[in-house]
Structure 1
Amino acid sequence: MQASIDTVERNVKMMNVWLKETSQELGGIDEDDAWRRLRAVLQTIRDRVTIDEAAHFAAQLPILARGLFYEDWRPSESPQKWRDRGEYLEAINAKISNDGAADPEETLRAVLKVIERHIDAGEVEKVKEMHPKEMWDLWPS
């Protein structure tokens, strides 16, 4: 039983790291806003990649982030074929669920920096390549 508790505690700590880093990348926003923005980007990535790639990517996320990633997913509607930057950023903005004050491009850039710190570089590159080339400049590397 202790091993299970340790796993949960480790994942809560890792999720807190992701939220703190997201907050810092976005100028010190509060945890609730960091949570919403992290969820919005993870779900937009999920909706753009193939089902198989979504599973590979999600396997590297902390368990709680994986929950955000899969929340409300409709695999039969994946992958979305957003063709341009505007459609993609609008998808993020729609998922942020706020009063419109968040900048979806700033949010995407910030969360991608956090993802890049914690996910295997090869996996990040595969996900990036499933996005339109006009989006690649938003990725940190």
Structure 2
Amino acid sequence: MSAQNLEVLDHTVQLTHEWVNELRERLDWPSSRDALRLMRAVLTEVRDHIPHAEVAQLSAQMPLLIRGMFFEGWQPARTSGHDRDAAHFLAAIDRRVGQVDGYRGRDDIAAVFATLANRVSEGELRHVRHALPPAIRSFWPADTIWDD
């Protein structure tokens, strides 16, 4: 039992650490903070490139803290005009990640998608992948794709 009787908070902190630690290990980075920054950057760019109903369905499978970061600052009316090509997607993430030692761009973005593939249901991931523009979908690692 939680010392503060706030088990829901303890549980989401634990789940968030699991997601971030998995990503950090995939990246082979020493910093959980940098891994979380990358996760947040990728997830918010994905959010801005899929339909709003899909955003809600994907977020329902995230730990509460990650879901909060996923929605923070979101302005749904301003997301429909996002550039849908891979270069803009990558550049937007690069800007948000900043100067992280060892950041490898596309390979590290694929690590976020691999973490999602391990944490989110297969059916939901199929929906998200198919909702993404093909150029952005190409960032997804082949070994986490069940059908196309």
**TM-score normalised by structure 1 residue count:** 0.88
Residue 38 (structure 1) aligns with: 39
**In structure 1, how many angstroms separate the alpha carbons of the residues matched to 2:39 and 2:112?**
6
**In structure 2, how many angstroms separate the alpha carbons of the residues matched to 1:117 and 1:34?**
16
**In structure 1, how many angstroms separate the alpha carbons of the residues matched to 2:36 and 2:136?**
23
Residue 109 (structure 1) aligns with: 110
Give unpaired runs (5+ residues) of structure 1. none
CA displacement, residues 35-82 of structure 1 (integer Å, 9 cap, x when unaligned): 100100110111111111111111110000001101111111123443
Say which SS state the counterpart of residue 103 (structure 1) adopts: coil
**Is contact 1:48-1:81 (8 Å) kept?**
yes
Structure number with the higher helix fraction is 1
CA displacement, residues 81-104 of structure 1 (integer Å, 9 cap, x when unaligned): 4332111111211222x2265233
Residue identity matched to 1:99: Q
Tell which deviates more after alignment, 26-35 or 129-138.
129-138
Q: Count the aligned residue pairs.
A: 140
Question: 1:27 Cα deviation (Å)?
Answer: 1.1
Say which SS state the counterpart of residue 138 (structure 1) adopts: coil
Residue identity matched to 2:46: I
Residue identity matched to 2:99: D
**TM-score normalised by structure 2 residue count:** 0.84
**Is contact 2:34-2:100 (8 Å) kept?**
no
**Is contact 2:20-2:35 (8 Å) kept?**
yes
Report % sequence identity. 27
Question: 1:22 Cα deviation (Å)?
Answer: 0.9
1:40-119 to structure 2, matched below 5 A, reads 40-96=41-97, 98-99=98-99, 102-119=103-120
Describe the shift of the 1:11–1:52 C-alpha distance in structure 2 as closer, same or farther (beyond 3 A): same
**Is contact 2:86-2:135 (8 Å) kept?**
yes
Say which SS state the counterpart of residue 138 (structure 2) adopts: helix
Give unpaired runs (5+ residues) of structure 2. none
